[in-house]
Structure 1
Amino acid sequence: MNDAARSENMRPLARLVARWRSSLLSLLLVAALAGALQGAYAAWRARADNAAISALAAGRDVETDSASAPELIAARAGFLAARAQFDKARALLEPLDSAGREELSAIAHYDLGNALLRNAFDLLERGQLEPAGPFVELARREYRRALQFRPEFWDAKYNLDVAARLVRDNPELEHSGGDELPADPKKIWTDIPGAPKGLP
């Protein structure tokens, strides 16, 4: 086979390689552009989240939703808890717990527990023992939740012990049974006619 024939046979292969190289370069260009756009969006989102967290730290509320960054949700939960908006703060903890960021969840539950316990102490200092009880119980629950996410969380263990001692020293603080009211031990028998009086 002479050089001219060999060259003629190589042309289709060369055209195929050129076409393949052109397609590959186009794909690489598209992938690089997509990566650059994704990186730019992530950087913009991080800046926006950091600005929102800074606003919360400065005392300005910022709306969040379940799609917000876990760090922003944790910061807003702490913001709300510090302002005694306990129900709103607790509502944010569920999407945070679902995000799988155990360290952030532990800190958020711990912060809410601290806010609840501070509220209980304020009530106790004013001599309002009965309203303080549910806050102590809720604080204990939040500390336990923090320890579920991070069992070695020493501060949560310590504060759980403080709350437990409060209940131990003041048994009337213990609130159990959900929405049920505790039975008065002096009224064991009902006042329905025909019910026995005195001891059984």
Structure 2
Amino acid sequence: MPCPAMRESVRRFWGRLRPRLLLALPVLLGLASLGFGVSAWRADSANRSIAALEAGTDLDVGIGAPAPVLVARIGYLAGHGRLEETEPLVAALDRAGAADAASRARYRIANAQMREAFGLLTRGALDKAGPQVTLARQDYRRALRDRPDFWDAKFNLDVASRLIRDFPDFDRASGDEMRAEPKQIWTDIPGQPRGGP
């Protein structure tokens, strides 16, 4: 049981502290509200930018924009065939250490390169399609380096790798390390036993 002198000391301390707390509390709550308000405004601004870019509006964002906005901008540029403009944005994501966002950005770039390659293939331009597929494969690998569990990138890398083997006229001296002989394509099919197909 505390002694009367201790109780008196605590009561005097609380008496001096209480008016200061009553004055400081509204200021602290006001600052917290202001911080939450600014954070909500930034999030709303980023969401509006992402929605505008995904709706097809050409919205120029700086390299200091939040990572999701940069990914949306990269997706817009890649979808409109402006791949050279994506390089500084991906570099900004790398510098910021946003590995997940950089992975999604590289995936979108690789998809744009594959769409271009498929367009070239339908027009019969095999020589021009090969480098696009090789670039796409490299970007899919970079996306997987940043995010190894990215299943869509794994699947698309597999499609791009098989596309190169299905069209042996592509230049194989491009420095891509995954090579297979055309005679051995059937051995890569999952579930097929070695021997005859």
TM-score tier, shorter chain, comes to 0.7 to 0.9
What is residue 80 of structure 2 aligned with on the other side?
Answer: 83
Higher alpha-carbon deviation: 68-77 or 92-101: 92-101
CA distance, structure 2, for counterparts of residue 175 and residue 47 of structure 1: 49
Classify 1:127/1:164 alpha carbon distance in 2 versus 1 (closer, same or farther; 3 Å): same
| Correspondence for 1:55 among 52, 56, 75 | 52
> Aligned pair 1:172/2:167, yes or no?
no
Q: Residue 172 of structure 1 aligns to a residue in which SS?
A: coil
CA distance, structure 1, for counterparts of residue 82 and residue 20 of structure 2: 58
Residue by residue over 1:107-158, the C-alpha shift from the partner in whole angstroms, topping out at 9 and shown as x without a partner, is 2211111110110111122122222222111101110011112212222112
Q: Give ranges in structure 1 of 5+ residues lacking alignment.
A: 1-9, 178-200
* Aligned-residue identity in percent: 42
> Aligned pair 1:64/2:80, yes or no?
no
CA distance, structure 2, for counterparts of residue 93 and residue 59 of structure 1: 20
- Following TM superposition, the consecutive aligned residue runs of length 4 or more in structure 1 with deviations greater than 4 angstroms are 16-19
Higher alpha-carbon deviation: 93-102 or 38-47: 93-102
CA distance, structure 2, for counterparts of residue 35 and residue 171 of structure 1: 64
Determine if contact 1:113/1:143 at 8 Å carries over to the other structure: yes
Residue by residue over 1:150-170, the C-alpha shift from the partner in whole angstroms, topping out at 9 and shown as x without a partner, is 212222112112212222233
> Aligned pair 1:119/2:99, yes or no?
no
Letter in 2 for 1:90: E
CA distance, structure 1, for counterparts of residue 24 and residue 122 of structure 2: 70
TM value normalised by structure 1: 0.72
Greater Rg over alpha carbons, structure? 1
CA distance, structure 2, for counterparts of residue 148 and residue 139 of structure 1: 14
TM value normalised by structure 2: 0.73
Matching of residues 18-167 of structure 1 within 5 Å: 18-167=15-164
Computed over aligned residues only, the root mean square deviation of the Cα atoms, in angstroms, reads: 2.5
Note the C-alpha offset of 1:75: 0.8
Note the C-alpha offset of 1:28: 3.0
Residue by residue over 1:61-98, the C-alpha shift from the partner in whole angstroms, topping out at 9 and shown as x without a partner, is 11222321111111111111000111112321222234
Q: Give ranges in structure 2 of 5+ residues lacking alignment.
A: 1-7, 176-197
Note the C-alpha offset of 1:27: 3.2
